[in-house]
């Protein structure tokens, strides 16, 4: 029997989901005959109809259980999305009944395991700490960067940490993340020439041992209720500056995200996932199935 013969393929479906308020549309295209070819304008149009922070797609992959692709709502395809990886893993766990799986992505391989409460934890891979890996436009210490941002009305944020979790992050440690006008300062940081691939900007405070408050301005998405790779970057940056240990709960606007930075350098992310329901896709996004 030829591969796929006699087996009815899954129709392409799309689901509205969120991870701690981080909003997604996830397209299950594992039976598509070819990778999705989405123009930025199509992603942007879908975001107007069904608001999301990231568009996710699961596609077939011969080296893993699926390939995870990620687009920000401005239409740009990016390498990583921590909460999106958890949501995709959760959906596949529900579909298969398995307890572990692996996904490939532009940002690297993602291993996931089912948690006892029905959630999913994802190994996001190693934190990348060299300035070339972030990347930055010039050589610089990434523990406390020689970089500052002026605040409207006076004051300055200085000495952030930089981390790549398959996508670039800069994390400022501040007195009160909730008091900052991120819609004003976020775009300037995102588009600063120091960051040739733009950057996700985190603003954090260690509230107590094991607890960090975090707000994130995401490149291509803006202010979001949660950011999984941002949570991972905040823990790593705080630990490197001696502010906290290697494990903490990151408190985002949409919920709490437990993060572990293990001795092998890998960062593990868990937290809540919610399936909001299935949505209809525009006819133009249809593909041929195997």
Environment class of residue 141 by beta-carbon count within 10 Å: exposed (0-12), middle (13-18) or buried (19+)? Answer: exposed
81 tagged catalytic: yes
Q: Residue 22 pLDDT > 80, yes or no?
A: yes
Q: What is the average pLDDT across 63-88?
A: 94
pLDDT the model gives residue 206: 98
Q: Assess whether 239 carries a catalytic annotation.
A: no
pLDDT tens for each residue of 33-75: 889 988 888 998 899 999 999 999 999 999 999 999 999 988 9
Which is the catalytic residue, given 38, 227, 236, 248? 227
Q: What is the 3-state composition of the chain as percent helix, strand, coil, each rounded to the nearest 5? A: 20, 40, 45
CA distance 149 to 85: 31
Angle (nearest 5°) at CA 168 between 74 and 254: 65
The per-residue pLDDT for range 169-226, each reduced to its tens digit, is 999 999 999 999 999 999 999 999 999 999 999 999 999 999 999 999 999 999 999 9
Kindly list the structural domains of the chain, giving each domain's residue range(s) and its CATH number in brackets, ordered by start.
13-126+274-285 (3.10.310.10), 148-264 (3.10.310.10)
Do the bridges between strand 156-158 and strand 148-150 make them parallel or antiparallel, or are there none, so unpaired?
A: antiparallel
Average of per-residue pLDDT values in the chain: 92
Catalytic residue selected from 57, 70, 81, 199: 81
**Mean pLDDT score, 149-173:** 96
């Amino acid at each position: 029997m030829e591969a796929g013969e006699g087996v009815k393929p899954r129709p392409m479906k799309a689901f509205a989901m969120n991870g701690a308020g981080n909003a997604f549309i996830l397209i299950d295209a594992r039976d598509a005959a070819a990778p999705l070819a989405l123009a930025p304008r199509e992603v942007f149009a879908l975001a107007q109809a069904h608001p999301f922070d990231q568009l996710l797609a699961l596609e077939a992959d011969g080296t893993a259980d699926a390939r995870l692709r990620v687009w920000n709502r401005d239409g740009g395809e990016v390498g990583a999305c921590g909460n999106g990886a958890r949501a995709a893993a959760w959906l596949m766990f529900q579909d298969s009944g398995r307890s572990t799986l692996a996904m490939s992505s532009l940002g690297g391989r993602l291993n996931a395991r089912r948690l006892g409460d029905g959630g999913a934890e994802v190994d996001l891979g190693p934190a990348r700490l060299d300035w070339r890996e972030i990347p930055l436009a010039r050589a610089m210490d990434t523990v406390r960067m020689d970089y500052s941002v002026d605040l409207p009305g006076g004051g300055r944020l200085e000495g952030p940490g930089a981390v790549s979790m398959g996508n670039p992050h800069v994390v400022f440690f501040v007195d009160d993340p909730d008091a900052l006008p991120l819609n004003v300062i976020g775009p300037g940081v995102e588009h600063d020439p120091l960051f040739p691939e733009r950057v996700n900007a985190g603003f954090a405070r260690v509230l107590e041992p094991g607890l960090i408050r975090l707000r994130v301005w995401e490149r291509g998405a803006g202010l979001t209720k949660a950011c999984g790779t941002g949570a991972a970057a905040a823990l790593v940056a705080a630990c490197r500056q001696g502010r906290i240990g290697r494990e903490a709960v990151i408190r985002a606007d949409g919920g709490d995200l437990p993060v572990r930075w293990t001795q092998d350098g890998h960062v593990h992310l868990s937290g809540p996932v919610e399936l909001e329901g299935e949505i209809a896709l525009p006819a133009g996004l249809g593909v041929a199935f195997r």
